[in-house]
Structures are given as structure tokens and as C-alpha cells.
Amino acid sequence: MDFPYLPAETDFEFPPCIPGESLVTVGGNLSPGMLLSAYRRGIFPWYNDDTQPIMWHSPDPRFVLFPNQLHLGKKFHSFMKKQSWIVRLDHNFSKMIACCAAVPRAGQNGTWITKNMQQAYIKLHELGFAHSCEVYDEQEEFIGGFYGINLRKIFFGESMVSLKSQVSRYALAKFIQYFLPKGLQMIDCQQETEYLGSMGAQSISRDEFLGILAQPDTENVWRGNWAHRFSDFA
């Protein structure tokens, strides 16, 4: 079946999730409208390479981090106070996503962040939906961070990377510290990891996750380039 390239304003109706199944459907494309339609329904693309059809997933249970439950520990709080790293939003989104794709990861052969995926999320960034939280050292060298999608006051984390020890943890802590007072409601971590679990992330049912997504709010409350909208972040 052919799927049209959908602009961001066009909504695509995905099939309903099947109880006990993560995979929702296969096919489609990575157009802005299709991607945003998926995220609004708690669905995201996850597949191995660009030679395969796109696989759309909605895990049950879902791994999430509620910002007010972030756990860092006294040792890391002390570590943060000693750092002079610089945290920037949307300073170089393309570099962030390319680095996440390039860095080898334990237990993974290659990357799911394919060239097509990178191009698609860069387009969402240009439209004001995808964002990066980047960390730079004292010499202004990029050392890591994370990127993801923002809808309403929910951030859907896609990937994070550390080129120095503890960088992604530092980035996430600073991100929550800044956005929690602005109403950040939830960070979607998608799949369970020990790393995010150590910071307070937890599993909730898909029904609970979808219920949070369905709560009324302003869709584009933080839409735009965060480097301009939140220039005081750093």
C-alpha cells in the first residue's frame, strides 16, 4: 500500500494497539504528519535499517520518567556542583542526532538511527517539534546530550549519548531542573534500561501512558526553536 507524504498538520489514523503486542503496524513513511500522528498515539518508529519497512511500536508496559521523581543521589549532586559544563538547547540538532547514530553501543550491531531517520527528525526539528539538549565542555567541545520529540508538555526521548562520563545524566538533570517549573509532565523513555531506572524511571501500563497523552492541553505549548525560546537555559 502506498502512503502519501503527510505535512505536519495532517493527521493519520493508526490501527489500534493489540493487547500484549508492541508492534502496531508495518509500512508507511517518515513524513512529519505520519510521525507526529504516531507520537500523539504513543507510537514510534523502530526498525533496523532503511532496506526494511518501517515498524511502528507501542510497548506495554511503557518506561517513563516523571520529572518530580528524578533520583540522582548525593554523590551526583556533588559532581554537578563541581562541573562548569555548558548546556544548550537546539544549538546543533544535526550534530546531536548524528553523534547518537555513530557512537557504538554495547549489545547493538549498527544503529536504528538510519540516514532516513536522521533526515526525518531534522525536518521535525525545523518544524519546531524535535529538540536537542546538548552539553559542551569548558573548551566549547561537544561532549554529549540527548534528543527527542516534544508534544504538549511531554518529552519523548529518542536517544542519548555521553562522550565523557556522566554527560547524558548531567544533561537530563539540567533539562528537568529547568522544565519542571514550566510544567513538564512526563519523559517517555520507551524501553526499560537500567541506566534510566537508576534515575527514577519506571514502568507503567500502556493504558495509563495513553491516558496521560489524552489529557487536554495546548498541543504546541513549547513549539519552536528552543535556542531562541529558552535562551536563558544555559
In tens, the pLDDT along 31-63 reads 999 999 999 999 999 988 777 889 999 999 999
Residue 64 and residue 201 in contact, taking contact as beta carbons nearer than 8 Å = yes
Q: Which of 166, 159, 99, 177 is nearest to 137 (CA)?
A: 166
Strands 154-162, 142-151: pairing kind: antiparallel
Give the pLDDT confidence score for residue 75 in this predicted structure: 93
Give the pLDDT confidence score for residue 106 in this predicted structure: 58
Q: Distance (Å, rounded) from C-alpha 43 to C-alpha 49? A: 18
Give the pLDDT confidence score for residue 3 in this predicted structure: 77
Q: Which residues contact 26 (CB under 8 A, 6 or more apart)?
A: 53, 54, 55, 56
Q: Which of 218, 160, 210, 220 is nearest to 186 (CA)?
A: 210
Residue 32 and residue 151 in contact, taking contact as beta carbons nearer than 8 Å = no
Strands 202-204, 62-65: pairing kind: antiparallel
Give the pLDDT confidence score for residue 2 in this predicted structure: 63
Give the pLDDT confidence score for residue 108 in this predicted structure: 55
Give the pLDDT confidence score for residue 178 in this predicted structure: 95
Match 518501517 to its residue by C-alpha cell. Answer: 54
Below-50 pLDDT ranges, the chain: none
Model-level pTM?
0.94
